[in-house]
Amino acid sequence: MASTYTNGGIEKIGNGEQAGTWGTTTNSNLDIIDNSINGVKTLTLSGTSQSFTVVDGTVSDAGAKVLVLGGSPSGTHTLTLAPNDSDKVHLVQNGTNQTVNISQGSGGNAVLTAGEIAWIFCDGAGSGAAVTKQSISSSPAAFTVGTDLTVGDDVSLTSDAAVLNFGADSDVSLTHVHDTGLLINAARELRFRDSDLKILSSADGQLDIDADTELELTAPTLQMNVTTADLNGNLDVSGTSTLTGNVTLGGQLIMPDVTSTKILVADGTSYQEVAVSGDVTIANTGAVTIANDAVETAMIADGQITTAKLAGSVAVIGMSIKLAGASFANTASVNVSGVTDNGTGDYTIAVDTDFANANFAVQATTGDDDGTNRNLGELTVHAQAAGTVQIRSHRPSASENSARSAFDPDTVYVTCNAQ
C-alpha cells in the first residue's frame, strides 16, 4: 500500500512499505511536525505576486507555524499558500513596506498592511479556498479580563475621547478630552480618605470642594477672579489686608479696643484709634456733647453762624432806618425781609425767618444824625406777630396831660430776639 500525506506534508507509510527505512521517514515526519508547531520561516517577497507550497514529506517554508514576510515587493503583493486543499493556521508578520494579500483560492483573502501581525487560517476548500485573518494588533476591538489585571509598566489609552468605566454598570467614568484633560461624569465625586473630603460638581456651573475640618491652601499668592466672593462664616486674616475698592459692612466694625470714647481718625496713611476726651464727648449712639462754656467767641469765624444755623425758636433781627426828608430807607439789617411805612411814625418790619410765635423781646430806640437832638422821640411796640413787629414813634409830651404827636425821627433802631 502506497504512502499518504497529511495537510502539513507528514508521510503516513503504507503497510509493508519502506522496509528498513522507517527511521529516516519517521525523523523527517518529526521535523515536519516541529516546523508546523514551532517553526519560524522568512518568506522573501519580490515583485507583486509569489506562491509558496507545502511539499509532501519535506520540511517546507510554507509549512512553518510563523511566517515572517520580508523582502522588497514593488507594490501591493499577492502571496499564495499552496496547495489549495491544505487547511492550516499561521501567525504572520508583514515585515515589508507594502500591503500583502494572502490567498489560497478564489475565496476571500487575508489583507495585512505593512508592519501588521495577525493570525490567519486557510480553509483548504480547493479552488474556492479562502484565507481569514484574526488581527492581534495593539488595538483590538475588545479586550476583556474576568479577574484582576496587573500591568508591570505604563498603560496608554491611545485614542482621543478614550473612556475608563468603573463599576458593574459603569456608573462612574473618566473621559479623555482632547488636548485638555479628563472629564468625570455627572455629579460623581473624587474622594480623599472618606466621604467628607471630596471634589465634585453638585450642579451645572458649580464646583464643590468639601472638607469636614479644614481646607488648606499653601501658596505665596492666592488670586481669585470672581464677580462676588461670598464667605458664610468668620474670616480670620493674620496678615495685612489691602482693599482697593469700597467696603460695605452689613454689621459692626469692631476695633481692638472697643472703648466707647474712641473713634477712628485718618492720619494721612491709615486710620488710628483716638480717645475722645475733654470738652467734647461722643456716645455710642452717635450723639456729640460739647461741655458748657467750651465754645468761646474767638473760636467762631466771622460769618459762620447765621440765624438759619440756630436751633429751635431762636431768631434775631436787627434794622436801622435812616430818614431822608419825608421818606426813609432800610440802611442796615439782619433777618429782615422788608419794611412798610404805615404813616407818620408808624412802621411794620417783616421778619425773614419767622419766630416760633409772637412771644419775643423787642428793643427800639431813636437816633439823631445832626447832633441837635431835636428829632429824638419815644418808640413803642404797637403789635407783634411771629413774622412781623409794628413800631410807632411819638414826640415827647410837654406835660403829663399833653397829647403826643406822631413823627418820623432821623434814625430808628429795632432789635428783636427770642429763646
Read off the pLDDT of residues 234-260 as tens digits, 9 standing for 90 and up: 888 888 888 888 888 888 777 777 666
Q: Is the domain of 276 the same as that of 331?
A: no
> In 277-314, which ranges are E strands?
280-282, 288-290
Higher local confidence (pLDDT), 147 or 86? 86
Helix, strand and coil in the chain, % to nearest 5: 5, 40, 55
pLDDT of residue 76: 97
- The domain boundary, picked from 77, 100, 135, lies at 135
Residue at 284 is within a domain? yes
pLDDT of residue 315: 42
Q: Per-residue pLDDT for 153 more than 60?
A: yes
Q: Is the domain of 128 the same as that of 31?
A: yes
Evaluate whether 15 touches 23 at the Cβ level (below 8 Å): no
Instruction: Look at the chain and report how many structural domains it folds into.
Output: 3
Q: Is the domain of 282 the same as that of 398?
A: no
Residue at 224 is within a domain? no
pLDDT of residue 238: 87
pLDDT of residue 105: 95
| Backbone torsion region of residue 104, taken as left when φ is above 0, otherwise alpha when ψ lies between -120 and 50, otherwise beta | alpha
Q: Is the domain of 264 the same as that of 353?
A: no
pLDDT in tens, 338-352: 888 888 888 888 888
Q: Is 417 buried (19+), middle (13-18) or exposed (0-12) by CB count in 10 A?
A: middle
Evaluate whether 33 touches 10 at the Cβ level (below 8 Å): yes
Measure the CA–CA gap between 415 and 419, rounded to whole angstroms.
14
Alpha-carbon distances, residue 339 vs 59, 321, 325, 348, 360 (angstroms): 146, 9, 17, 6, 19
Q: Is the domain of 85 the same as that of 115?
A: yes
Q: Is the domain of 25 the same as that of 129?
A: yes
Measure the CA–CA gap between 96 and 47, rounded to whole angstroms.
12
Confidence label for 323 from pLDDT (cuts 50, 70 and 90)? very low
Q: Is the domain of 361 the same as that of 276?
A: no
pLDDT of residue 9: 62
- The domain boundary, picked from 94, 120, 135, lies at 135
Q: Is the domain of 277 the same as that of 339?
A: no
- 8's CB contacts (< 8 A; 6+ apart) are 32, 33, 35, 36, 54, 63, 86, 88
The DSSP letter of residue 128 is: G
**pTM, two decimal places:** 0.40
Q: Residue 96 belongs to what domain range? A: 4-135
